[in-house]
Each structure stands twice: as structure tokens, then as C-alpha cells.
Structure 1
Amino acid sequence: MPLPILAITSGEPAGIGPDLCAALPRREWPARLVVLGDRAMIAARIHAVEPALDIVDYAPDAAPRPGALEVLHVPMATKAVPGRLDAANARYVLDVLDRAIAGCKSGEFAGMVTAPVHKGIICDAGVPFSGHTEYLAEATGTPLVVMMLVGGGLRVALATTHLPLKDVSAAITRPLLTDTLRILHTDLRQRFGLAAPRILVAGLNPHAGEGGHMGMEEIEVITPVLEQLRAEGMQLIGPLPADTLFVPHTLKQGDAVLAMFHDQGLPVLKHASFGGGVNVTLGLPIIRTSVDHGTALDLAGSGRADPGSLFAAVELAIAMAQGQTKT
């Protein structure tokens, strides 16, 4: 049986994405890993770290070469300098993503793993871009996707993602929360092999609103949604105060957490797993995992970038592609 092929996007060329790719051949993987990006740039960056590493051009029907790095060439607009962002290459970064998405949609790739991009420089180039998650949703015609990070024994999904804090309350509506929990429940079953997932749901306000004294969102939005979905058979616990949800005794009662906003859930997970966490996009028709860190411009080209999160993202994508459960 042929090995599944995973697309590994090399990310922002001024960041550590290309450096991380150099570490992939250090392991034997139960999949064929193909790095997408500018071949000359990747070769230069990788050979600065791994001088003896063989780089071969990707051909879908070719047999993989153990110990070599397969590269699918996507040309850059201009030469990249490690640590120095250039808006001229913003379109290139999106071209790499588009090629990976197209390959996943066609069945050429079993899934995609993304190295970090720099949102600001893409926006500076005149392309509105709030993140991989939203871009993938639009590219696949998916009306709603859910960001979930996995690591340190935790699975933490988000009801809202890249929003200013002042906009979070208005964004958390009954339809959004209902759809988010349904996607989370479905993918925990189908992608993670949990027959009856238990989901811990955080409140929005301190002390989960303190009975309405610190906010009404729990009473007016979150609790009615949980009651409705419990009646449909979902195992939902909450709304829980976030400051006591993330303690060992409570976490043992659930298989995943739904946090209401980005910085409510992710600091805890990154404290537990930094360097080995994985970002997963739920609700897509394709498999997508990613590193849980940024472009680290100060480390680009230094040979000191830690590939732990990329390795974990690849491991999880392989497990999901093979229908296995993976924490």
C-alpha cells in the first residue's frame, strides 16, 4: 500500500519555516513528506544547516528516496533574506498555500502541514489576511471552521479566533456557538476516534458571570445552547469559570475544552506544550495541522530553530490521515 503524501508548506521565507524543513529527514516517517516552496531558497537555507542533505524534485509517481527531502517548486517573487520581511513575497506565501490546498482537494495529498506565516506582511502587501484558519475556510468553501490546539495532554478549541477583545462578546451568538460545538463534536469522533466525546465549555466572563453579576452572556447565550445540544445527546460540561476549568481535576472530566476567545485558552495550552503543540483546523473537508508558534525572524538562518512542533504536527496529520487516534 503506498504511503500517504503530506504537503508541508514552508511558510514565510524570511522566517524559520524553511529551516524547520531541514530536520524532517532526521526521522523515518510512515508517510511521504513533500515540502512546498521555492527550491533555490529552500536549498540554500537547508544546506546552511544540513550541508549533506539531498534535495530532490517532487514527482507524484516517483518512488521516495529515504534520507532525501522532496521539494515541490513554487517560485518566489524576489530573493528572501533570513530575518527580513519583504512584502514582495507575500503573494508567494499564498501561492504555496494555494498549491497545497489544491493538492488536498484533488486527493494528491492526504493532508497538509503548515509552517508559520507572517500575517502583518501579507496585509501590508494589500491582501487582507487574518490567518491560515480563515484562509483555508474561504479556499475550501467551508462556512465555519474551528481552531483547536493539541498538546501537553490537552485539546483546546476556540469559539472565536483572531478578534480584538472588544469584539468577542458580540461575536459569541447562539448560532455560532451551536455550530462550533457541533463541528468540534463531529471531528472529535471522526478524526480523533472518540465515540462519545466529553467537552468542557468555558464561560466568557470571570466566574462564568457570577449568576449575571459579571455579565449575562452565560445566561443568555452559552447555557441555552448547551442545554439544547445536551438534549441532542452531546456530553457538555459548563459553562465553567476559565480559572478553575484548567486544573487537573476538572480537565480529567473532559476530552476537549472549548474556550470562548483566543487568549482564554491558548496561553494554558502553550504553557503545557510549547515547542510540541499542534494547531488543527476542524470542520474542513481536508486535513490540516500546523506548528503552534510564529515565524521567529530572529532565529531564521541560525540553525537553532526547534522542529519539535513541526514534528508533532506531522505526526498528528499522519495519524488523522490513517484514521488513528492521537492526543
Structure 2
Amino acid sequence: MLKKLVIGITMGDASGIGPEIIVKALSHRNVYDICAPVVIGDPKFLKKAIEITNSDVSLNLINDIKDAEFSYGKIDCFNIDIIPEDLTIGKMSPVAGDAAFQFVKKAVELAKENKIQAICTAPLNKEAMQKGGHKFAGHTEILAELTNTKDYSMMLSSPKLKVIHLTTHVGLVKAVEMINPERTYRVIKLANDVLTRAGYKNPKIAVSGINPHAGENGLFGNGEEEEKLIPGIKRAQEEGIEVSGPYPPDTVFFRAVNGDFDIVVACYHDQGHIPIKVLGMSDGINVTVGLNGGVIRTSVDHGTAFDIAGKNIADEKSMLAAIKSAVELVPKN
């Protein structure tokens, strides 16, 4: 029997729903059937989440992976005790923002040491993190910095659709400026690599256009498709990658949902995020693709939800999907 993969789950912002969805997810016995989960966070707030959710689980505080029990009913938690007990749940806090960053930093250290085989992140709050002293746009950029990765991308995955992005957390004008043939080629290659590793044979990749109707032969825009996308697509095709496009953005995602493509390359943040979230907020997950050292990171595709934190109504479905995807994406060789 193969040894189970150790999945490090970062707590995210302790003021949000992260602790609750972690406790709820780890209350599912089948999680322990597929992996060995360990939480990286402040145990005080896991204890509060256990009380809030009325979960029949306990905690095993550890300072080293070798001390973990990986036993259903007992959540292993790295004892990173850095948040005041009186932190208000449901409100933005720079202290919680800093702590969320520290949890991710510890997870990357463990991954580099091969003590965990993948990282699964609960949501953090960007404003809280930045006010806590860490000027990053989000998890993707933190992980790229901590792993010294320059060539990476965000992939969103749901049961019916997968999307990978050329640009993410920048304004629309800046996003279009940033797209170039090299970036297009690199993201196509990242998409092909991650899906191949996950078991797809010759994954079918579609590239979305930047302009309405993908420019319609120069009718819309200023030739961005011809300048920024097509050369990268052709280069990937010459290497044997099954990629095509650019396709009109208003139809390509529908076609992917209906099976024409395995993944769509989106040009900017909202172009990729909107179709995923329309399909179901709790079904999607976020994957950081291309991190140095082969670090695998998946995440829920929703935020901290301060408005419902502490009320025992947060849905753990996306966290369960993120854990499962982390297991599936770890290289098997």
C-alpha cells in the first residue's frame, strides 16, 4: 500500500471562515482515506471553530510532522500561536492578515523540505494582509515570491470547466499591456504540463481572444490577437501541444463546458473567473501552476466571508474539492 500524501492546509485569515471550513472538511472520514492532512495555523481558532461547528473532533498540537497522528477524529495542527485570543471573528484585522501570511510561509518551508507534498490554502483577506505588512495581491503572488518563481499562473477548476490565466490581479488596461507571445506560449505549456501530470492524454487547450469576437480579423481592437496571442499559439502547436484559438470569449467557455476543450486560457482575471463562479461558487478551486520545486498549491475559490464567519453556515464543499485536487495533482513518479 502506498504511503498517503501529506497535505498541509493553511488556516488563512482566522477572522474569516477558514477555521470553520477546515474543521468541517476534516470531519469527513473520506479525507483521511485519500491523504494525511495537517493544519498550519493557530490552534486557538481551530478550537473555536470546533465549538462553533459542534464537531466531534479534537486537536493534536505538533511542532514537527513526525509528531502527527493523521487519525480521523483528531486534527493535527502545527502550533503557530501568534494571534491574540480576543481577536474578533468576522472583522478585518491586520494581526490576522499577518498571521495568514506566516501560515503560508511555514507551509512553503515544509514543502521545500518535502515534509508535505502539497499545500491547500483557506482564504486570506488581501486588505488585512497588506495592512499587516505584506504587500502582495494574493496567495498566488506570495507563493511565487517564496519559491522564487517567475513563470507561473493561476488555474481555476470546477467539475465542468478549467481555466488558466495569462494575467490576474492587475487592472484591465495593464493586463492587455502585459500579454505577449512569450507569456501566451508559457501559459499554454503550463496548462499542458499540469493536465498531463493529472492524467490527461493530449489535453485540448483553447485560447480565448482579448477583444469581442476575438477581434474578428481586425474589426474590433487593434490587432491584439494577431500580435499577442497567435504567435504563442503557433509555437506551442509546433511542439505538438493540442492548442487552438483565439476563440470569441463569449462562446469559448460554453464550448469547454460542453466538452470541446479540457481547459481555456483566459486573458485577464474576470474573463476567467466569471464563468467559473457562475457555474457554482462552492464548486470551484484555485490552483497555482508552475511553482519552482514542484510545489503544488490548491485553494478554495472564495473569500474570507466575514459576514458569515462564526455562524456555522460556511460550506466546506470547496475545501473538500481543493484537498482532493491537491492529491490528484501531486506528481505520481
Give the TM-score taking structure 2 as reference length: 0.92
Alignment of 1:128 with 2:135, yes or no, is yes
1:102 is aligned with what amino acid? E
1:202 to 192, 197, 208: 208
User: Does the Cα contact within 8 Å between 1:152 and 1:269 map onto a contact in 2?
Assistant: no
User: Does the Cα contact within 8 Å between 1:78 and 1:89 map onto a contact in 2?
Assistant: no
User: Does the Cα contact within 8 Å between 2:6 and 2:117 map onto a contact in 1?
Assistant: yes
User: Does the Cα contact within 8 Å between 2:163 and 2:263 map onto a contact in 1?
Assistant: yes
1:38 is aligned with what amino acid? D
Alignment of 1:304 with 2:313, yes or no, is yes
Paired positions, count: 323
1:60 to 65, 72, 82: 65
Alignment of 1:4 with 2:5, yes or no, is yes
| Residue of structure 2 equivalent to 1:252 | 259
1:28 is aligned with what amino acid? N
**1:109-258 alignment, distance < 5 Å:** 109-190=116-197, 192-215=198-221, 216-248=223-255, 251-258=258-265
Identity of aligned residues (%): 32
Residues 174/168 of structure 1: CA separation in 2 closer, same or farther (3 Å cut): same
User: Does the Cα contact within 8 Å between 1:47 and 1:53 map onto a contact in 2?
Assistant: no
Out of 46-55 and 112-121, give the one that drifted further. Answer: 46-55
**1:79-90 alignment, distance < 5 Å:** 79=85, 80-90=87-97
2:28 to 7, 26, 29: 26
User: Does the Cα contact within 8 Å between 1:198 and 1:254 map onto a contact in 2?
Assistant: yes
| Aligned counterparts of 2:147 and 2:290: Cα–Cα separation in 1 | 10
Alignment of 1:42 with 2:46, yes or no, is yes
| Aligned counterparts of 1:96 and 1:163: Cα–Cα separation in 2 | 25
| Aligned counterparts of 1:322 and 1:25: Cα–Cα separation in 2 | 27
| Aligned counterparts of 1:319 and 1:228: Cα–Cα separation in 2 | 29
User: Does the Cα contact within 8 Å between 1:148 and 1:155 map onto a contact in 2?
Assistant: yes
* Cα drift, residue 48 of structure 1: 2.1
| Residue of structure 2 equivalent to 1:70 | 76
1:135 is aligned with what amino acid? I
| Residue of structure 1 equivalent to 2:289 | 282
| Aligned counterparts of 1:28 and 1:194: Cα–Cα separation in 2 | 25
Q: Deviations over 1:108-145 (max 9, x none)?
A: 00101000000111122332110111111111111111
| Aligned counterparts of 1:60 and 1:225: Cα–Cα separation in 2 | 43
1:60 is aligned with what amino acid? I
Residues 229/65 of structure 1: CA separation in 2 closer, same or farther (3 Å cut): closer
Residues 233/13 of structure 1: CA separation in 2 closer, same or farther (3 Å cut): same
* Cα drift, residue 202 of structure 1: 0.3
2:329 to 307, 320, 326: 320
User: Does the Cα contact within 8 Å between 1:14 and 1:83 map onto a contact in 2?
Assistant: yes
Partner secondary structure for residue 298 of structure 2:
strand
1:72 is aligned with what amino acid? F
1:20 is aligned with what amino acid? I
Q: Where in structure 1 are there 5+ consecutive unaligned residues? A: none
| Aligned counterparts of 1:157 and 1:123: Cα–Cα separation in 2 | 25
| Aligned counterparts of 1:157 and 1:149: Cα–Cα separation in 2 | 6
The RMSD of aligned alpha carbons is 1.7
* Cα drift, residue 160 of structure 1: 0.4
* Cα drift, residue 305 of structure 1: 0.3
* Cα drift, residue 152 of structure 1: 2.9
User: Does the Cα contact within 8 Å between 2:15 and 2:96 map onto a contact in 1?
Assistant: no
User: Does the Cα contact within 8 Å between 1:193 and 1:323 map onto a contact in 2?
Assistant: no
User: Does the Cα contact within 8 Å between 1:75 and 1:92 map onto a contact in 2?
Assistant: no
User: Does the Cα contact within 8 Å between 1:5 and 1:110 map onto a contact in 2?
Assistant: yes
